[in-house]
Structure 1
């Protein structure tokens, strides 16, 4: 029997700390019709689910949480508990789909059963239908969830998706080589010295990053309606933009795709603050940015392997190009400052602590009313080609992030085919303007695209920054391939 890692179980503990949240992640796949026969579709989903062990298993916690919970097979798995059907009211537009998605994601998954649901949704406009897949975060992070969803499609797309990620990840990997075997004692000593120096530098980097993360968690930002307790109800909206437009901005200003996406999110949150009569401050929008630390050989593993960064997004800057430059600089600082390494070190350290203490600590910490972090923005690379289910093409894929930890809004960024999709989940009461928040992201991308393709003669292009992180050049080169 496999045990949950401390990080995996931490998502259960964080959920337990707030009765108003559900830490499930989701995705809506919109397909061209006609809708297959119900029994045929259920049989196909069931067959593909059976190939994924985690979706056949339940979590069993130990008495007093003395040991980590275990994954155990459900002896009475009944697909009727997991695969459900719904119809949208006429005319089946995006507004109706988004309302249904928000309501479907609100309830917590039943921990007495495998932690997933699949909704078959009919009645979409233009003769289309949809699948909404809901999976608890304790099972998988963003990359693993996309691998799981791709594996439910026709033709073994899950394997192709993993291979594409491995190829991109391998091209982006930089590490310290191990000492080469040699009989020359001077070369051996030199190699050992280089390795020890690299390890010392990494340790120092992690310490610096830890200081930054702790400071970000304990330092309260300006009081804002964007942060505070959440209700049990959600709103959801989504927009998609051509990946080619994002790539054009990335190349014109010599920044990464992720910089462009975060800059668009920044501008939309600035507008949201203005709508609320709040003056954007440079410390208003500290953002939780998950970062994958998944190694190449673990791309097909269904689990959580993430670290975090906590940059301030520059909502105080009115000019969108200046916003983009500021995002680029701040993300570069966060990367070079060791925040990613610090997050990984904390997760590794938790493994050395008795699980009962680690579990209790996570529940206490996640229950505290923090005001330092305001929102979440997570970027997940999706399939580069359109998927199919029973021969029907998945024409759109919409990510659904959870809301938790007093963060009243969360944004998931997903590349799918030739598009970049932004899915926005918010607390129902705090964000009645969720559609405006989503549309603001698309508007910001359109504006930056126009500037990139028709630059103002007085505006210089963004210069290369000395502190650029090693992986940014790969991210920029990857734009046309849609690997992010």
Structure 2
């Protein structure tokens, strides 16, 4: 039996704190048709999925949370409870697929069974079909979930484990007290610097959680219904922007989200402010030797996205600067340290604390933006090509929208989840993201120079 970590269990407790949320994450793979025979497909998917022990296990909880939940084998596993078939109504376009996907993702998974579902979806236009994978966040983070998704594909092989090379026996050397004291001093100062950085990061995280964001319609109570929308942009365009302006893929993605949220606020008649969009940005801390493990290994950063700036290039520069500052602030290290410390506290105490905090009206964080690198090579399932791979993020903590980004082959997909009543404009949010990337791609073809203020200016006629 394997116990859940405090981070894994935290997703269960966060779900328990609000009856209107489901802490499931998912992805849609759209494939070229025709769809294989369902019985054959089910048998093949079942074999591939159940090769992961976590998909054959259920949670065993303890009364009054006296111990952490445990993963135990499900002796009565019935694959028909998990691999299901559906069809979208005509004309089988994206709108029909996304409405159906929102209906699936908004329902909670049954905790009496293994916490996953696999839906095979027929009826898509252009002779296509789809697979929707839905798993509880307590099972895996985005990186682990993507790895699990690739197990469904043809030709999957287990990632090679990272092994340390054998230690070489070093020849004995006489002890030099001066060298020993110098090494000890360097070690102690290094630890002090790391501790100081983590402390600063912890204060930043605490401030982000306790300091309310500017009041807006982006946060508040949610219903139990969802809307879902996506948009895909060219990775070639994104990489061209990265090279031209010396930024990261994540910087470009967050800038596109920033510009679209600014447009959303203005469309709703609200003034975007510097403190309007504090964003939860998960950061993977998964090591190479844990690539195949089904669990959560993330820390967080809490930057303000610069919706107060009207120019998309200024937004890009501000996002890059703020993310660089957040990375250097120790937030990532502090998040990992806090989780490690929480694991040392008796589980009943942490479970009670997480549930209590989850019921409080959180006002510091406004949205979620999570970026997961996906397969760069095209995948196949039973010989059918995966044409699109679309992420579905969770929604909780009084956030009314969330955005997940997933790269696949030559595209970067944005999956947007929103509360059905409070975020009826998720389609416009998707359109705004696409428009922002297109504008940045066009700007990247011009000639720019640095100004004394450290910004970039377009050289006229260049």
TM-score (norm. length: structure 1)? 0.90
Which protein has the larger Cα radius of gyration, Structure 1 or Structure 2? Answer: 2
Distance of 2:449 and 2:190 partners within structure 1: 44
Which digits, 9 at most, give the CA deviation of each residue in 1:183-240, with x for residues without a partner?
A: 4423333233222221111100010001111111111112100010111000000011
Whether 2:84 is the aligned partner of 1:77: answer: no
Whether 2:7 is the aligned partner of 1:7: answer: yes
Alignment counterpart, residue 306 of structure 1, candidates 279, 291, 298: 298
Distance of 1:187 and 1:414 partners within structure 2: 49
2:195 alignment counterpart: 203
1:106 alignment counterpart: 106
Distance of 1:441 and 1:341 partners within structure 2: 30
Structure 2 unaligned regions, length at least 5: 165-169, 456-462
Distance of 1:426 and 1:223 partners within structure 2: 18
Contact 1:254 1:463 in 2 (8 A): no
1:344 alignment counterpart: 336
Whether 2:64 is the aligned partner of 1:64: answer: yes
Alignment counterpart, residue 223 of structure 1, candidates 215, 218, 231: 215
1:259 alignment counterpart: 251
* Shift, 1:300, TM fit: 1.4
Structure 1 unaligned regions, length at least 5: 171-178, 465-484
After TM superposition, the structure 1 = structure 2 runs for residues 349-360 of structure 1, keeping only pairs within 5 Å, are 349-360=341-352
Structure 1 SS opposite 2:102: helix
Contact 1:29 1:131 in 2 (8 A): yes
Alignment counterpart, residue 392 of structure 1, candidates 384, 398, 408: 384
Structure 1 SS opposite 2:376: coil
* Shift, 1:83, TM fit: 1.0
Which digits, 9 at most, give the CA deviation of each residue in 1:82-117, with x for residues without a partner?
A: 111111111111111111111100110000000000
TM-score (norm. length: structure 2)? 0.94
After TM superposition, the structure 1 = structure 2 runs for residues 82-161 of structure 1, keeping only pairs within 5 Å, are 82-156=82-156, 159=158
Structure 2 SS opposite 1:154: coil
Which digits, 9 at most, give the CA deviation of each residue in 1:369-395, with x for residues without a partner?
A: 011110000000101111111111111
After TM superposition, the structure 1 = structure 2 runs for residues 419-430 of structure 1, keeping only pairs within 5 Å, are 419-430=411-422
Alignment counterpart, residue 436 of structure 2, candidates 444, 457, 460: 444
* Shift, 1:80, TM fit: 1.0
* Shift, 1:460, TM fit: 5.8
Distance of 1:323 and 1:50 partners within structure 2: 45
Distance of 2:422 and 2:68 partners within structure 1: 36
1:281 alignment counterpart: 273
When the two chains are superposed, the root-mean-square deviation of aligned CA atoms in Å is 2.0
2:458 alignment counterpart: none
Structure 2 SS opposite 1:135: strand
Distance of 1:388 and 1:100 partners within structure 2: 23
Which digits, 9 at most, give the CA deviation of each residue in 1:41-63, with x for residues without a partner?
A: 00001101221000000001012
Distance of 2:233 and 2:61 partners within structure 1: 43
1:406 alignment counterpart: 398
